[in-house]
Structure 1
Amino acid sequence: MATDAEARQPQLPRIDFSGVDPSAPGAGQWAAVRAQVVDALATFGCFDAHYPALGPDLRAALFDGAVKQLFALPDDAKRRNSYGPDRPLFGYLGGIPGLSKAYESLAISDRVEPERVRAFADLMWPDGDNAGFCEAVHGAARRIAELEEAVQRMVMEGLGVPGYHDAMRESMRHVFRMSQYTAPGGGAEGKEVRYGAHQDCSTLTVVCQHEVNGLEVQTGDGEWVHFRPSSPASLVVMAGNELRAWTNDRVRAPFHRVAVGGDVARYSVILFALPGSKIQAPDELVDEEHPIRFKPHCNDDFMRFCLAQGARHEDKLKDFSGV
């Protein structure tokens, strides 16, 4: 239960997607929700999405039936989740300098399709019956990806440039990351940061957490907001620096971090949408009032720059491609 002080804290904007069918753009409550989405991403950079398509039963199957058993594996098995030395952020993260030793994460990258989920599961459990794991993970990832695509389409429509959606979507890669943040335990008071303040290199990021809170988002005036889900079907949708660049700074890419307290580990799954095409603001979004803010660039180059710069809390997009 939230304390009085927590109850007085500002919260993320809440947007109800129960009247939106991602497969039917424009139908139902689409236009009304679109206006809320564009406003939330422009002013706050993220929002709390009430998304019944990923309800409590599906979440229980995902976390209790799949994610937790993944982190029960020995370290040697988890390290098999690798996409090569040129793609260090696409596979297993654990024991990396600059990251908390109490954080580790595995990922399915590029496209979260049934065959890729199955290949990941077979890599983790070569001799296991992985059907239940695959069904839970792919089912959740597919629904989250549908929300991500709907939000991206809404942003482009809301800014008056819907014609760019199909090309952007065709180039999009997804990283579906499953994470564990170990609790301090031992009667420790307060929270400990498990993943430091940063902005994402994605266009959009969608976060689904399980039972234990911990996500904190920084507002434009520097205040940290502790995310408390508004419903059992809540997800956090957050703009990354690549959407900020593509929209010519019309959306915010908020700094955020994860801090955990108590004795129970925090689990989350995160879908990152990464553009495969060059990021360049459309001509329609550049004018005298909005001069070009960022140089054209590729996401892979930007990610390599961020990795080389380390965990410093700074505006890496501006440093990398700012005009």
Structure 2
Amino acid sequence: MAAAAGDQLPRIDFSGVAPSAPERWAAARAHVMAALRTYGCFEAQYPALTPELRAGLFGRAVRPVFALPADAKRRNSYGPGKPFHGYLGELPGLPAYESLAIVDGHKPGPVQAFADLVFFPDSGANHTAAFCESVHGVASRMAELEGVVRRMVMEGLLGVAAGEQEEGLPSSSMWHLFRMSEYGAPVAGAGEKEREVRYGSHQDTNSLSVICQDEVDGLEMQTRDGDWVLVHPEPESLVVMAGNALRAWSNGRVYAPFHRVSVGGEETRYSAMLFSVPGGESMVRAPEELVDEEDGHPRRRFRDYDYDEFVRFCVSEEGVRHQDKLKAFCGL
């Protein structure tokens, strides 16, 4: 792992990292755990996501889908009970921001269903096929990396692999949301230093987030001292970030950082994100092994909670008043 310098995140190379290479796996796992405890995030060099796949995603999928008419993008909906699963746009306080999402977007079927819905009848079969190939090629590899990191967290904290024991955060009910976002550039003539916030300060509600950005930086992380720094990942890297579900499950051992998105200069920013989300009827809860007197965690810090109820709290009138929404919702 490259040490974090200045405003940079720790950088971890996942080349050749696999359980079949135990020494390399153990070394990478130690770096992952150190980064998540201290920063709550890190930069991942993941060669399986090639530059060609990344270029295809933004060139053949992300930019074309945001160029569609507004009515087509609004068809990306999962019903009134799940308003944040699909299209987001024209929202108060979020100028020049649009986002579309695919539930289980790392699987071919949901990607094809999304393409059939939003592109029809605006584009032909060839364009739809290019979109599906590009999205699945990237999202599936982002899901692979998320699974590797999640397994390392389980081993690092419990000494077991994901799937063997994930009390309160079971692999069997974990699902993924693939989201594509567009952040409009500031007014013409604005300098790079004249940055405008396009998505304000927040912690992710989910377990782990994997972020793939195009060429334009914009992700800002808040340090523990309260300073905002612009993240500059390497062109071939992904950013992996912990959310509040993992923070609660780990009984506070994993840090969930505040972050936001800003834009500067004259270029629109595009990014793709894969979120791992607790699902089913299981409550998010810290395993008994993580409620002990080690590492300054002498007691349970959060009560058990239903993930969907927490999300609804975050967007409620009461929830928006709190900066640390997890602590307000279920802190002990």
1:152 to 146, 150, 165: 150
Q: State yes or no: 1:267 paired with 2:270.
A: yes
Q: Partners in 2 of 1:85 and 1:288 — Cα distance?
A: 44
1:230-245 aligned at under 5 Å gives the runs 231-245=234-248
Q: Partners in 2 of 1:8 and 1:54 — Cα distance?
A: 25
Say whether the 8 Å CA contact 1:243–1:251 is kept in structure 2.
yes
Residue identity in the other structure for 2:119: W
Residue aligning to 1:292: 300
2:36 to 41, 49, 53: 41
Residue aligning to 1:122: 116
Residue aligning to 1:217: 221
2:174 to 172, 175, 185: 172
Say whether the 8 Å CA contact 1:20–1:28 is kept in structure 2.
no
Say whether the 8 Å CA contact 2:11–2:44 is kept in structure 1.
yes
Residues 213-255 of structure 1, C-alpha deviations (whole Å, 9 max, x = no match)? 00001111112121101x3211000000000000000010000
* SS in structure 2 of the partner of residue 197 of structure 1: strand
Residue identity in the other structure for 1:107: A
The TM-score normalised by the length of structure 1 is: 0.93
Residue identity in the other structure for 2:304: P
Q: Partners in 1 of 2:37 and 2:320 — Cα distance?
A: 25
Q: Report the RMSD for the aligned CA atoms in angstroms.
A: 1.8
Q: Partners in 2 of 1:219 and 1:30 — Cα distance?
A: 28
Q: Partners in 1 of 2:81 and 2:159 — Cα distance?
A: 34
Q: Which runs of 5+ in 2 are unaligned?
A: none
Q: Partners in 2 of 1:282 and 1:316 — Cα distance?
A: 21
The TM-score normalised by the length of structure 2 is: 0.90
Say whether the 8 Å CA contact 2:152–2:161 is kept in structure 1.
no
Residue aligning to 1:250: 253
Say whether the 8 Å CA contact 1:203–1:240 is kept in structure 2.
yes
Q: Partners in 2 of 1:53 and 1:303 — Cα distance?
A: 32
Say whether the 8 Å CA contact 1:56–1:233 is kept in structure 2.
yes
* SS in structure 1 of the partner of residue 302 of structure 2: coil
Q: Partners in 2 of 1:63 and 1:28 — Cα distance?
A: 36
1:278 to 276, 279, 283: 283
Residue identity in the other structure for 1:299: Y
* SS in structure 2 of the partner of residue 32 of structure 1: helix
1:195-214 aligned at under 5 Å gives the runs 195-214=199-218
Q: State yes or no: 1:17 paired with 2:20.
A: no
Residue identity in the other structure for 2:68: L
Residue aligning to 1:3: none
Q: Partners in 1 of 2:20 and 2:57 — Cα distance?
A: 27
4+ aligned runs moved over 3 Å, structure 1 = 24-28, 163-167, 309-313
Q: Which runs of 5+ in 1 are unaligned?
A: 1-6
* SS in structure 1 of the partner of residue 254 of structure 2: coil
* SS in structure 1 of the partner of residue 37 of structure 2: helix
Query: Compared with structure 1, are the counterparts of its residues 213 and 311 closer, same or farther at alpha carbon in structure 2 (3 Å cutoff)?
Result: farther
Following TM superposition, by how much is the alpha carbon of 1:199 offset from its aligned partner in structure 2, in angstroms? 0.2
Percent identity over the alignment is 60
Residue identity in the other structure for 1:160: L
